[in-house]
Amino acid sequence: MKEVPQHIGLTMDGNRRWAREHGVEVKKGHEEGARRIEPLVDYAARQGIKYLTFYAFSTENFGRQEDEKSAIFQVFDMMLRDAVVERMMENKVRVNVIGDIDRFPRMIAGSVKKLVKRSAKNDTITANFALNYGGRQEMVQAVKKALSAGEEISEGTISRHLYTAGQPDPELLVRPGGERRLSNFLTWQSVYSELYFVDTLWPDFTPQEFAKALDWYEARQRRFGK
């Protein structure tokens, strides 16, 4: 029996390099990147994976130039109106957000929240989207919430106030795009995660590429075998 992780984190990296390599505008790179999401969710659901977390926009990404941010937001807006949303609803995908989405343009934040609500009872797989997410920021807000609830600070109370409360920690983090670092992604949750890095740029990260990461993970697991 193939052992599949319950939760996998995916860092979406390499969109601009992909655009440059293909001689197209940066926005097209972000669009192609966004189009990889739904096939991966579908594939993961078929494998029995219960949670996928996509690192789509970090707190640090807010420091990018206005025109690039606006291109990224246009891509988000387009995807929220795209047929993929209905496909995910039909496939009973629960959409969830981790991060402080209220700093996003109001239209986008509103549509995302609506989709989160609308898909709340879906139960095939949960797709978490990390939007204006940072691992340190997540921990700080968790501690603040615990304190204001009058709770004592412990691993348990912090975990319960993270955006991922109630979800298993990711057994595997996958980072396409060639960089070998975590970049503030799932900082608290990743302490025991297996880390898979691959040079393939995110817009080329297909379910076939994902399958290679799962095979690699399975081999890692075997090395831990008793």
Q: Which residues bind ligand IPE (CB under 6 A)?
A: 12-17, 57, 61, 72, 177
DSSP string, the chain: -PPPPSEEEEE---HHHHHHHTT--HHHHHHHHHHTHHHHHHHHHHHT--EEEEEEEETGGGGS-HHHHHHHHHHHHHHHHSHHHHHHHHTTEEEEEES-GGGS-HHHHHHHHHHHHHTTT--SEEEEEEEEE-HHHHHHHHHHHHHHTTPPP-HHHHHHTSTTTTSPPPSEEEE-SS--S-TTSSTTTTTT-EEEE--S-GGG--HHHHHHHHHHHHHHHHHT--
Binding segment for Mg ion among 13-21, 30-38, 43-51, 111-119 (CB under 5 A)?
13-21
13 binds Mg ion (CB under 5 A): yes
The distance of closest approach from Cβ of residue 31 to ligand IPE in the complex, given in angstroms and rounded to an integer, is: 11
For residues 13 and 31, which CB has a smaller minimum distance to Mg ion in the complex? Answer: 13
Please give the residues from 42 up to 81 whose contact with Mg ion meets the rule CB under 5 A. Answer: none
Of 90-119, binders to Mg ion (CB under 5 A) are none
Question: Cβ of residue 94: shortest distance to ligand IPE, in angstroms?
Answer: 23
Which of the residues 42, 61, 100, 122 is marked catalytic? 61
122 binds, among ligand IPE, Mg ion, none (CB under 5 to 8 A by kind): none
Q: Which of 13, 15, 132, 169 is catalytic?
A: 13
- Least Å from the CB of residue 37 to Mg ion: 17
Residues forming contacts to Mg ion in the complex (CB under 5 A) are: 13
Hey, which residues are catalytic here?
13, 61
